[in-house]
Each structure stands twice: as structure tokens, then as C-alpha cells.
Amino acid sequence: MSELKIRGLRVSVEDKAILKGVNLTVRAGEVHALMGPNGSGKSTLSYALMGHPKYEVNGGEMHLDGVDIMEWSPDERSRAGMFLAFQYPVAIPGVTLANFLRTALNARRKADNHEDKGIPIPEFRKLLKEKMDYLGMDHSFAGRYLNDGFSGGEKKRAEILQMATLEPKIAVLDETDSGLDIDALRTVSEGVGALKGPNLGVLVITHYQRMLNYIKPDIVHIMLDGRIVESGGPELALQLEEQGYDWVREKYSKIAI
Ligand code: ADP
Ligand code: MG
């Protein structure tokens, strides 16, 4: 069973300390929601988890299945089974979603076996169709250029399809804090609902309480000023929905920075 374990993670961006000691464990089979006000460091955590070079790790530990991955490149982390859905995915005109997915899948296969010649195209087409049918997506979607002119909901749909195809062990989905429409919310939550299972651990990052109307997380965390200050069950989500973040700020206002 897969496990991502983070201990005392400290991260800075452009010499500004953002994460100030994050502890978090996500296991396969669990859906975690990471909530918190804007600017609390949620996206910074997702970038640090994926190994973005701009996010400097100043301390702490990061283990995937007991292996220290802190020095690993984003590519190595991905091949080891981590998946990060970017908050602002880039558009690649000229590259279809299907081609992109096949390239990504082949990179994964080659990492597992150097001899691998890549998935045969008919087999890939079959796989992609199965995944799209399972997720209720129109087959024409895979023929579109990656994120080119995609709506917020379509970008999320592309991410979910990528996740379904690559079958990661641990997926981190960071929600955009602006322009997130109901369509996108529903796509992510239905996708997570469809893909969740004993072999997948999910960390959904969101600012919005309303996200929790769609995703039913097993464990809810609240991040405030670069730390996870509260963790609990779904009841924590209900409390946030009713009371917002003010009580959290009040409770932790005395913590020194
Ligand atoms: P959240 O996702 O919770 O809204 P972020 O992780 O995006 O929070 O941001 C946390 C803090 O880090 C903010 O003060 C933000 O201005 C700063 N920050 C994040 N990314 C960058 C960056 N690339 N360059 C400069 N500052 C950044
Ligand atoms: Mg963010």
C-alpha cells in the first residue's frame, strides 16, 4: 500500500518562508482535502511535492513508500507514481490530448522496463476509449489540442483523464482559486469519485468550502500561514462550511511566525 509522508516540511519562494513545518501523511485508499484561506501556502505545498525548482526546500522530510524523494526531479516523482494536476496547466497547440497521454504513458512504461517499445497504438486507443467511457467523456475530446482554448471545466477533465490513464499511486489536485466554475468542480469531484480506490491516495487542495458539497473526503486538513493547524474527519468540513475560516484564524492568531 502506497504512502506519501511529509514531516516538518519548510519551503521558501524567492527567500520568503512560505511553508513553516508541514506534517501530512496520505495513504492509498484515502481522500484528503486540504483547505485554507488564500495565501496560506496550499499551492506552494503542491509545487514542492512535485519538485518545482522555484520552490526551495529548507528542511523536513518527504518519503514515498519509505523512500526519500526530496532530491528527485519532477519526472522521477511522476514515474514513481505521483501525479500533480497543475493549477494553471499550459496549452500545447499542435499536440492532441491523445498524443500527450500516449507519450506520458510510454515514458512511464519505459521507466519500468527499458526494453519497452511503447504501447501499440490500437491498444492505446482501446485503453483511452475505455477510460473516457468510464468517466463519461466524449471521445472527440481526446482529439483536441492540449488545453488549447479549453474552458476551466475542460482543463480539469483533461487532468482527470490523465490521472485515469497514468494510474498514479498518489494524486495531488490543486484547485484554481479564480474562475472555478460549477462545471469544473463537478468534473473534479466526479472524477475523483470514479477513480478513488484501494490503490490511489488523493489530496484535493481547495480554498472553497463548496467543493466539499461534491467531494466527500475521508480526512480534512486546514492550512494557515504555512502550517496544517487542524486535521479531522468530514465534520471539520461541515464546520468550515458553516463558520468559514475566522474561528481558525482566531484560534491560531497567537502562534508566533
Ligand atoms: P494558496 O495556494 O494557499 O492560496 P500559495 O501557496 O499560492 O497559497 O501562496 C502562499 C504565499 O506564497 C503567498 O504569500 C504568495 O504570495 C507566495 N508565493 C507563492 N508562490 C509564489 C511565487 N511563485 N513567487 C512569489 N511568491 C509566491
Ligand atoms: Mg493556491
* pLDDT-derived band at 89, boundaries 50, 70, 90: low
Per-residue model confidence as pLDDT tens digits over 122-157: 999 999 999 999 888 899 999 998 888 888 778 888
Is residue 70 within 8 A of residue 57, CB to CB? The reply is: yes
Question: Per this entry, what is the length of the chain?
Answer: 257
Atom 27 in ligand 1: residue holding the nearest Cα? 13
Instruction: Using the predicted structure, report yes or no on whether residue 52 has a pLDDT greater than 70.
Output: yes
Where along the chain do its domains lie? 3-253
Which atom of ligand 1 has the smallest separation from the CA of 177? 4
Q: How far is CA 151 from CA 130, 145, 155, 184, 190, in A?
A: 23, 13, 6, 9, 17
What is the reported pTM? 0.90
Q: What is the pLDDT of residue 155?
A: 82
Does ligand 1 come within 6 angstroms of the Cβ of 20? no
Q: What is the pLDDT of residue 40?
A: 95
Q: What is the pLDDT of residue 242?
A: 87
What's domain 3-253's architecture? Answer: 3-Layer(aba) Sandwich (3.40)
Instruction: Using the predicted structure, report yes or no on whether residue 5 has a pLDDT greater than 90.
Output: yes
| Type and span of the H or E element at 16 | strand 16-27
Mean pLDDT across 224-237: 94
Distance 111 CA to ligand 2 centre (A): 31
Distance 51 CA to ligand 2 centre (A): 16
3-state secondary structure of 212: helix
Atom 24 in ligand 1: residue holding the nearest Cα? 13
Instruction: Using the predicted structure, report yes or no on whether residue 164 has a pLDDT greater than 60.
Output: yes
Q: Say how far apart CA 122 and CA 73 lie, in whole Å.
A: 32
Q: Say how far apart CA 48 and CA 11 lie, in whole Å.
A: 7
Instruction: Using the predicted structure, report yes or no on whether residue 255 has a pLDDT greater than 70.
Output: no
Does ligand 1 come within 6 angstroms of the Cβ of 43? yes
Atom 11 in ligand 1: residue holding the nearest Cα? 39
